[in-house]
Amino acid sequence: MENIQKAAPKDVSEAAAPELKNRGLLLTGLIIAMLFGALDGTIVGTAMPRIVGEFGGLGLMTWLTTAYMLTSTVIVPIAGKLADLMGRRVIYVTGLIIFIVASALCGMSQNMTELILFRGLQGLGGGIMMPMAMIIIGDLFTGKQRAKWQGVFGAIFGLSSVIGPQVGGWIVDAWDWRWVFYINLPVGVLAVILISIALPKHKSVGKVKFDIPGIVTMIVGVVSLLLALTFGGSEYAWGSWQIIGLFVLAVVSLVAFVFIESKAQEPILPVRLFKNRTFSTINGVGFLMAVGMFGAIMFVPLFMQGIVGISASASGTVMTPLMITMIAASVVSGQLIDKIGVRRQMLIGMIVMAVGFIFLSTMGISTTKLIASSYMVLLGLGMGLVMPILTLALQESFPKSELGVVTSSSQFFRQIGGTFGMTILGAIMNHKSTILLEQNLEPVVKQFPAEVGSPLIEMIHKNPQSLYSSLLSPEALAKLPKELVDKLPIIKDALVSSLHQVFIYGLVFVLLGAILTLFVGNIKLSDRKSKKKEDGEDDNQVSPHLAH
């Protein structure tokens, strides 16, 4: 056995080690690509009012975000598997080129339909880019080194969320909304050059077999599910044929996907991975953490606008402490993990997040911006301790041949969790609000003139969240008739009670995630690069790094 292993060809990471004298160039390219790929998720929001002002199509505006979200989510596991089959460089550079070309097309768009289509194409490039950085870090470094670098890359991702709206606002004010997209071109070209030079070429191992049926059924299933979750309860009623049809299509397609993957020679997402306790529990923790995280990010600004009474732009600054703390904790987490261990750090992070949600559920009309910001610090601290090590733990637990698919799975399940969280928690808030407003506000509103009362009653029944946003911002309050201003305490009480319920449910999801961390094996960080499959090791065998 020893002789066989010595004679065996080295894996890509080890064989490429001598070529990585350009490691600094490669890391620079990865950082640039990560920063601008992540930045694009938040920078466009600031430009939307100008885009709608030029093109019209206000009803289509949400598709600028939805198109990017759909394509960037569904391509993640596909990109991870293709990176395992075809090599990192060809997939990463392809993703960068798609992103650059799509950015140029977005900037040249002549109407809203074109812009939405090109945003979907841009999402494909972004969805390929995002997991690739973590996959390559897994190739380059040992387990202990990865902890540090993945913390750094997690911090870069968080930083982009903080500066995105500010950068977008500056670009729109100084130049034109089209430069929000054009700015990606020179930076993207630089990243392509650096990564092409520094990243070793993949050594071909024979003909690549693509799992086309698996790709098709997964795309149809995931897109149908995300569309149902996105538009259910807002664009269409949950019981409408459109939403029910999307859910049915999602279930049928995903069942077919599981069957196909169990038979495929090179499955996109091997079903057998879910039999591995580490894979299932860690992705479960990531999913549940994302549900809670997006719940906070979505609803705290609404609380600050509606209850504390600050502007929409000022309410966004409440989230800054969360992002800054998350960045700092992401960097520190890489240093802590070797001292306290993967499982313990994940548990501590989830508990800290849970404490943050407990405090959020106590907020009331007297809560100040400073107090709300302090609660955000707790959430950011917990998220920063958990997020970087989700990917790291998976990379330490699987062989080199599956590094791409397990790394991309971590991001995939977090993105699905975020969409699920925004949908479920939003539905909880709207349901609770409708009950309270029907009881306390609707009888009063029915006494108003029809031109004032009818739109309010429609919002009470269909979209209370829109009612809060339209009535409780400082700008809107100045325009309201006096008889409606006198009834604002009823609206504020309903909002407080509804958000309390949202934060309590968010707490439940986070606590479930904390419990799930107890089932994660005792993962040890290695001093060597990605684990290779030993001769004779069975595919379903649990990594020797795990002590169950």
Beta bridge partners of 236: 232
Mean pLDDT of 116-134: 85
Q: How far is 433 from 439, CA to CA, in rounded Å?
A: 10
> Which of 78-87, 417-426, 471-480, 493-502 is the most confident on average?
493-502
pLDDT in tens, 232-264: 776 777 788 888 999 999 999 999 988 888 888
DSSP-H helix ranges across 87-183: 88-107, 112-140, 143-174, 179-182
Task: Look at the block and give the residue holding tokens 């990017």.
Answer: 68
* This prediction's pTM: 0.76
pLDDT, tens digit (0-9, with 9 covering 90-100), for 337-367:
777 888 888 899 999 999 999 998 888 878 8
The pLDDT of residue 534 is above 50: no
Rounded to whole angstroms, the Cα distance separating 432 from 229 reads: 19
The amino acid at residue 528 is R
Rounded Cα gap, residues 465 and 43, in angstroms:
24
Long-range contact set of residues 222-225: C-beta below 8 Å, sequence gap at least 24: 222/73, 222/74, 222/250, 222/254, 222/416, 223/70, 223/74, 224/249, 224/250, 224/253, 225/250, 225/254, 225/416
| Residue 17 CA from chain centroid, whole number | 32
282 within 8 A of 523, measured Cβ to Cβ: no
Residue type at 451 in one-letter notation:
E
Q: Are 498 and 429 in contact (CB under 8 A)?
A: yes
* C-beta of residue 247 within 8 angstroms of C-beta of residue 228: yes
Nearest to 285 by CA among 76, 521, 83, 543: 521
pLDDT at 98 over 80: yes
Q: How far apart are CA 442 and CA 436, in angstroms?
A: 9
- What's the confidence (pLDDT) of residue 41? 67
What letter would DSSP give residue 539? T
> Which pLDDT belongs to residue 516?
92
Q: Say if residues 120 and 68 touch (Cβ distance below 8 Å).
A: yes
**Of 477, 480, 467, 422, which is closest to residue 440 (Cα–Cα)?**
467
d(CA 199, CA 163): 29
End-to-end CA distance of the chain: give it in Å, rounded. Answer: 27
- Least Cα distance to 422 among 231, 266, 278, 250 occurs for 231
Long-range contacts of 442-448 (CB under 8 A, 24+ apart): 444/487, 444/490, 445/487, 448/483, 448/484
pLDDT in tens, 428-475: 888 888 888 888 777 777 777 666 667 777 777 777 766 776 666 666
> Quick check: 26 and 136 in contact, CB under 8 A?
yes
The partner residues of 232 in beta bridges, in order of sequence, read 236
How far is CA 513 from each of CA 333, 354, 386, rounded to the nearest angstrom?
18, 10, 11
Nearest Cα neighbor of 527 from 147, 154, 200, 155 is 147
Query: What are residue 533's phi and psi, to 5 degrees?
Result: -75, 125
Task: State the Cα–Cα distance between residues 197 and 180, nearest whole angstrom.
Answer: 27
**Which residue in 319, 298, 338, 322 sits closest to 384, CA to CA?**
322
pLDDT band at 97 (very low <50, low <70, confident <90, very high): very high
How far is the C-alpha of 526 from the C-alpha of 546, rounded, in Å? 12
Separation CA 473–CA 314 (nearest Å): 11
Percent of the chain with pLDDT over 90: 9
The predicted pLDDT at position 481 comes to 65
pLDDT at 38 over 80: no
Give CA separation, 250 vs 239, 253, 254, 280, 411, in Å.
16, 5, 6, 21, 20
Q: DSSP letter string over 61-86?
A: THHHHHHHHHHHHHHHHHHHHHHHHH
In order of 114, 191, 477, the CA distances from 63 in angstroms are 11, 28, 29
Supply 99's token pair.
């992103």
Which of 153-162, 183-192, 296-305 tops mean pLDDT? 183-192
H helices within 441-536, ranges in order? 442-445, 450-462, 464-471, 474-477, 482-485, 488-517
Q: Rounded distance, CA 288 to CA 294, Å?
A: 10
414 and 293 Cβ atoms separated by less than 8 Å:
no
Q: Residue 160: count other Cβ atoms within 10 Å of its Cβ.
A: 21
Among 298, 399, 283, which residue's Cα sits nearest to residue 346?
283
Q: What pLDDT score was predicted for residue 25?
A: 80
Let me know: does 538 contact 399? Beta carbons within 8 Å.
Answer: no
Q: Report the distance separating Cα 188 and Cα 37, nearest Å.
A: 9
List % helix, strand, coil for the chain (3-state, nearest 5). 80, 0, 20
Those residues whose C-beta lies under 8 Å from the C-beta of residue 420, and which sit 6 or more positions away, are: 229, 287, 290, 291
What is the per-residue pLDDT across 203-234, written as a single tens digit (0 to 9) for each?
555 566 777 888 889 888 888 888 888 777 76
At 466-503, the pLDDT tens digits run: 677 666 666 666 666 666 667 777 888 888 888 888 89
